[in-house]
Chain A
């Protein structure tokens, strides 16, 4: 009987650990964040529409996202759009800080052309276990589509509520931050 009580207490503690807003980020974030403050990790910063070639290249890079059919189709459709506009403003590829989630490191890259987000990809995310694939299958396309949907009105900030995508959200936010550091 006593063992059951301990077990229940242990479970409750673990649940609280899981769902309290202090997530696994806490133990890891302090080490990670210095990266975010540093110079941006720009893959291909340029002005005007010349950023577009890198955008299409980036979109095809994470072939692993094709596990979710919606991701590959939407990203390829979107990257061609901004090339028609003779754009000005921020352009380039920005890579967010790698954020450690309970499932492993997640890192997002966004491509900005003329101040608009034209593509977003998870360049690093966990792929080891079946559980991880399940997480990726919807966390990654959800955010890819979100940022792509935002191309006509770029996002300044991100708000979201879930624990498992928090690392990812932080990383997307981090990518948005990188564009202005």
Chain B
């Protein structure tokens, strides 16, 4: 990368609270302060907000929670519900059953909860908006799940297309860290917290007893990178069933008890 004065492009960051996390969007462009970029960022964030309205398990008024309480007829729900329902079925099948969307929700009720897939899926959708923007490279990161890609049209010749992603492993005292460089890729990290983990092993119904503390999967689509990262946390060997292009790019072993 050339020093800032010599490069023909700049970086602009956009930040938006959404999906119980924060979306960070960095756009590299010749004119990073252009009006068009703010507009594109707003449109991308709007996609994430729609996903929140439809799928949030924390919002009793979301389509998903109203469906769970039988207050909303399935045919009147947002069509995204059906799209994601099919996706969760496909994800369970593809991962040999290691990904599941049949979970206990925050209200204690058991049922279809696509939370584990919605974030990646929504970021993929939001990225599609940004891929229509002329002459940019971008990276959209929501809570550590991210898509790095480019827009349409000619790009500045010296535009950096690679994004350096720091993978943190807070388990290891004194810190073990990794840097994963992504370029036209999606990246998702799944793992446990030191207070336990939230990934269910569908084979036991209990929390996954993983040999890893975190696993990072890269691939063409974030939806599937996220699904494979979740499944690989339960059993990393399942990555052998993933299609070409998806691979484990980083992992940290579980802390020795």
Contact = CB atoms under 8 A, between A and B. Distances in A.
B192 A162 contact: yes
B24 interface: yes
Given A13-B106, A19-B198, A156 B26 contact: yes
A30 B49 CA distance: 12
Given A164-B193, A180-B26, A22 B58 contact: yes
B168 A146 contact: yes
Contacts of A23: 20-21
Interface in B29-72: 56-58
B163 interface: yes
B39 to A, nearest CB: 15
Please report whether the interface of chain A is mostly helix, strand, loop or mixed according to DSSP. helix
A139 B170 contact: yes
Interface string B116-150: 10010000000000000000000101011110000
B115 interface: yes
B196 A15 contact: yes
Interface stretch (B73-81, B88-96, B174-182, B237-245): B174-182
Interface residues of A, number: 63
Given A146-B166, A163-B193, A21 B177 contact: no
Contacts of A49: none
B188 to A, nearest CB: 8
Interface residues of B, number: 66
B17 interface: yes
B139 A149 contact: no
Interface in A153-181: 153-166, 169-170, 173-174, 176-181
B13 A21 contact: no
Contact of B198 (A26, A141, A163): A163
A61 interface: no
B13 to A, nearest CB: 4
B3 A88 contact: yes
A142 B173 CA distance: 7
Interface stretch (A32-40, A52-60, A76-84, A122-130): A32-40
B236 interface: no
A138, A139, A144 — most chain B CB neighbours (10 Å): A138
Interface in B146-187: 146, 163-175, 177, 179-180, 187
A27 B14 CA distance: 21
A4 B33 CA distance: 59
B22 A160 contact: no
Interface in A49-97: 68, 70, 88-90
Contacts of A154: 164
B86 interface: no
A149 B178 CA distance: 9
B119 to A, nearest CB: 7
Given A13-B108, A158-B144, A161-B144, A19 B197 contact: yes
A165 B26 CA distance: 22
B189 interface: yes
B83 interface: no
B248 to A, nearest CB: 13
A180 B191 CA distance: 29
Nearest to B145: A159
Nearest to A87: B3
Contacts of A149: 177
A36 B22 contact: yes
Contacts of B188: 159
A87 B150 CA distance: 29
Contacts of B235: none
6 contacts: A29-B20, A70-B175, A155-B164, A159-B189, A169-B144, A177-B26
Q: Which 9 A-B pairs have the closest CB atoms?
A: A19-B198, A161-B191, A22-B20, A163-B193, A26-B20, A33-B17, A160-B168, A142-B175, A180-B13
